[in-house]
Amino acid sequence: MPEARNEKIAGMTAMLIGVASFSIMDACLKLLTGHYPAIQVAALRGLAALPVVFAWAVYSGGARQLLRVSWPLHVVRGIMSVFMMVTFVYALKTLSLAKAYSIFFIAPLLIALLGIVLLRERVQKAQWLAIGVGFIGVLIVLKPEASVAGFGWWSTLAVLGTAVAYALSSIIVKILGRTDSTQSMMFWMTAMLALGATAIALPQWEPVAREHYVILAGIAFTGAIGQWGVTVAFKHAPAASVAPLEYTGLAWVIIIDLLVWSTTPTLRTLLGAGLIISCGLYLIRYESRRAT
């Protein structure tokens, strides 16, 4: 039992690392959205990260384990990865990172609910409290009384679609984690994203400018680290324990928006972010007490 609880805490730590890395990666993607079509940016994300993920997967687990996988679920997850990247990149063309993340943060609640329905996971009252408080923080940031048109209908729907696909993909990770290695899950998702998005983007492919190579390098490494963190988290810890930690990404993107685009968050955004971060810290403290 102590080993299982320690494994859960390790999964939660991996999630925090993954969310921070993905926040930086999403900022890099947003920098590219003004220069290339959304589908090409999605393809560049997969192509940039693929060599890094492949090298790590072979070094840490060997090439053979990449072929011992549950193909149907990997294919479904690969299709979802293409859909997620295209819809999210499309939304980043018009939304700030903070607004896009705020809408996307319906995903942790969906993950927790799907974990109960599909995986029959048990959720403690403290976990429900963390999910609920974090979601209230999201609603505060969203300013629900304002017209949705302020965000742009299509961009909002695109992020909501990303959230639904991400939630389903996270549940698939839980199922695949029973039989497949972390390396295989990371490699095949990245490979299918790279191949699928590139195949769709080729007819309208635009040459990549040299000054964007540095951004692509950043996408490669932060994307690989982020994918590792999220995969390890959902493989080793219950969905309800790690899903609320997604909310910490809002703190990262608020800082990035300020530093890169000089977008100053409103008092309402800061209040909501405070609730979200408190939710994540409370959940970590709760799990640590259970582990001891």
Within 8 A by CB and 6+ apart from 264, the residues are 258
Contact criterion met (CB below 8 Å) for 49 and 227? yes
CA distance 141 to 258: 16
CA distance 256 to 64: 40
- pLDDT score recorded for residue 140: 83
What is the domain count for the chain? 1
Nearest to 96 by CA among 261, 270, 274, 284: 261
Tokens describing residue 260:
């890169």
- pLDDT score recorded for residue 242: 87
CA distance 250 to 107: 13
Query: Domain of 64?
Result: 2-291
Tens-place pLDDT, residues 261-289: 998 887 887 888 888 878 877 776 776 67
CA distance 97 to 89: 11
Per-residue pLDDT band at 65 (split at 50, 70, 90): confident
Tokens describing residue 17:
């690392």
Mean of all residue pLDDT scores within the chain = 87
Tens-place pLDDT, residues 202-254: 999 999 999 999 999 999 999 999 989 998 998 888 877 888 888 889 889 99
Tens-place pLDDT, residues 123-171: 778 778 887 888 888 788 766 444 444 546 788 889 989 999 999 999 9
Within 8 A by CB and 6+ apart from 113, the residues are none
Range with lowest mean pLDDT among 24-28, 184-188, 199-203, 239-243: 239-243
Question: What is the CB neighbour count within 10 angstroms for residue 149?
Answer: 8
Range with lowest mean pLDDT among 55-69, 103-117, 171-185, 195-209: 103-117
Tokens describing residue 211:
């000054």
Q: Flag whether pLDDT at 91 surpasses 50.
A: yes
pTM of the predicted model, to two decimals?
Answer: 0.85
Alpha carbon 269 to chain centroid distance? Answer: 20
